[in-house]
């Protein structure tokens, strides 16, 4: 198992996996992924097993403590000096599910965000996934203002204890 940053040559495989994991109303477009790979490739991680991509996680950095819909459409809102790492997508190939790969991707993303001195990580998820993310320390902030894909989302936030064990917020 190896983590690596995505590169433009991975675009076709990323799009294929995205479309196998998400319905059309939620899946990111090829243009959106292309833009993400250009603007924030250092925040786009692939999980490779025996040379095969089995999953990915990605998201921009910003000063927003929750995700707003515009972030999904405009990669240029990325601010490398931002306080919050967002998660736009977590996907594991259907053929590789139930092996802990999603959790490994999340843990790697958490480690990288902490190493970079972020305040925490923010994401949106459907109600049935709230408990899944809570096991990694995310708190459910309730229903999100996001209407991405015409769906109902929950805002989830994982805040790091950065200053001598104290939450700086």
Place of tokens 């993310």: 133
Q: What's the pLDDT tens digit per position in 13-36?
A: 999 999 999 999 999 999 999 999
> Burial, 35: exposed, middle or buried (Cβ in 10 Å; 0-12, 13-18, 19+)?
middle
Portion of the chain with pLDDT greater than 70, in percent: 95
For residue 162, the model assigns a pLDDT of: 60
Q: Domain locations in the chain?
A: 2-118
165: exposed, middle or buried (Cβ count in 10 Å: 0-12, 13-18, 19+) = exposed
The tokens describing 108, both together, are 């790697």
Residue 49 pLDDT greater than 70, yes or no:
yes
- 84 strand-pairing partners: 62, 120
Residue 165 predicted with pLDDT over 50? no
Is 75 within 8 Å of 60 (Cβ atoms)? yes
Does 168 score more than 60 pLDDT?
no
CA torsion through residues 52, 156, 29, 70, sign: negative
Q: What contacts 63, CB < 8 A, 6 or more positions away?
A: 79, 82, 83, 84
- Write the burial class of residue 15 (CB in 10 Å: 0-12 exposed, 13-18 middle, 19+ buried): middle
Rg (CA), the chain: 15
Average pLDDT over residues 62-86: 96
The topology under which CATH files domain 2-118 is Aminopeptidase (3.40.630)
Q: What is the mean pLDDT of the chain?
A: 94
Predicted confidence at residue 169, as pLDDT, reads 40
Q: State residue 161's pLDDT score.
A: 79
Give the pLDDT mean for 137-150: 95
> pLDDT at position 5, please?
98
């Amino acid at each position: 198992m190896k983590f690596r940053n995505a590169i433009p040559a991975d675009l076709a495989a990323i799009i294929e996996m995205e479309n196998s994991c998400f319905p059309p109303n939620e899946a990111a477009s090829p243009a959106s992924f292309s833009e993400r790979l250009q603007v924030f490739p250092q925040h786009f991680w692939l999980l490779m097993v025996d040379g095969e991509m089995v999953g990915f996680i990605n998201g921009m950095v910003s000063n927003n403590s929750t995700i707003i819909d515009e972030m999904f459409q405009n990669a240029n809102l990325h601010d490398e000096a931002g306080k919050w790492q967002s998660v736009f997508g977590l996907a594991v190939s259907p053929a590789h599910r139930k092996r802990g790969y999603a959790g490994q991707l999340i843990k790697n993303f958490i480690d990288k965000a902490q190493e970079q001195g972020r305040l925490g990580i923010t994401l949106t998820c459907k109600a049935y996934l709230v408990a899944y993310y809570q096991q990694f320390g995310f708190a459910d902030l309730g229903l999100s203002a996001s209407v991405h894909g015409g769906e109902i989302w929950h805002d989830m936030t994982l805040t790091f204890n950065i200053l001598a064990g104290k939450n700086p917020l």
